[in-house]
Amino acid sequence: MMKTTLSLVLILALVIGCKKDSAFVNNPGASDLHNKPVGASANDLLASSKYTSVKIEVQYMTGFVPDAAALNHLQAVLGSLVHKPSGINIVTREVPASANTVLSVNDVIEIEKNNRTAFTSGSELALYVLYTNGSYSDNNVLGVAYRNTSVVLFGKKIQDNSGGIGQASRTKLVATVSEHEIGHLLGLVDIGSPMQSNHKDAAHGNHCNNSSCLMYYASETSDILGFLVTGNIPSFDANCVTDLHANGGL
Ligand SMILES: [Zn+2]
Ligand SMILES: [Zn+2]
């Protein structure tokens, strides 16, 4: 009886284990490289010792093409921070719109699982950016970094709040939110790139305490909207740049 129960437990454990391993059906062999927590690949992203180039796959839902100038800005900003002698490449691809217009992180993970095609292999590290036709379950949030190489931008929320009369430009908002979320993948703040001085905003998790820094918490919420009407796209402040540099960045 005892033995039977044990076997059953073992079989169940194996089934669950297999399920987890094949979480990314598009590239099951590489699943361990992109199923890690946010910040776990910060050094791989910043330094050139393992990976000499980065490919960013941006998938957008039908009708929600992300602003091209914003993606160029993202590419330039990253280029100034990470050691990637073979370059940073952005590829965009349309994916079907989601029927669900309010998305949870679990929904986003499922969408990534069904659509992502770029995976880390050889000397190239791959990132995934999803730009959705929906909003987040927390309606003030414009973007979320949810795994070591994955971020989501809530396109509907971004588009409703930019590009119109009296609103921030689309370019500024998409650049701010995408660069902020990828800043988390780079290990900011204190989530993979150790702090060289204390500048974490303890009340807001892994964010910077400098209200003019890109990694200030407001950069990923609707709190940034008013600022961006006249202000420029925020950049990483000296404390954040120091952390990136110390963890292998330029
Ligand atoms: Zn954030
Ligand atoms: Zn900062």
Per-residue pLDDT tens, the chain, 250 aa: give them: 444 444 444 444 333 333 333 334 455 455 579 999 999 999 999 999 999 999 999 999 999 999 999 999 999 999 999 999 999 999 999 999 999 989 999 999 999 999 999 999 999 999 999 999 999 999 999 999 999 999 999 999 999 999 999 999 999 999 999 999 999 999 999 999 999 999 999 899 999 999 999 999 999 999 999 999 999 999 999 999 999 999 999 9
CA of 22 to the centre of ligand 1 (A): 29
What's the gap in Å between 68 CA and the centre of ligand 1?
22
The H-assigned helical ranges of 22-146 are 31-34, 42-46, 68-79, 105-115
Q: How far, in Å, is the centroid of ligand 1 from the Cα of 8?
A: 42
Ligand number with the minimum distance to the CA of 206: 1
The 10 Å Cβ neighbour count of residue 198 is 10
For the chain, give me the number of helices (H) and strands (E)? Answer: 9, 7
How much distance in Å is there from the Cα of 196 to the middle of ligand 2? 12
Angle between helices 170-185 and 68-79 (to 10 degrees): 40
Closest-approaching ligand to the CA atom of 223: 1
Cα–Cα distance, 58 to 35 (Å, whole number): 18
Q: Compute the distance between CA of residue 80 and CA of residue 3 in angstroms, rounded to an integer.
A: 59
Rounded to the nearest angstrom, the distance between the alpha carbon of 22 and the centre of ligand 2 is 37
Question: What are the angstrom distances between the C-alpha of 218 and each of 133, 140, 165, 221?
Answer: 22, 10, 22, 5
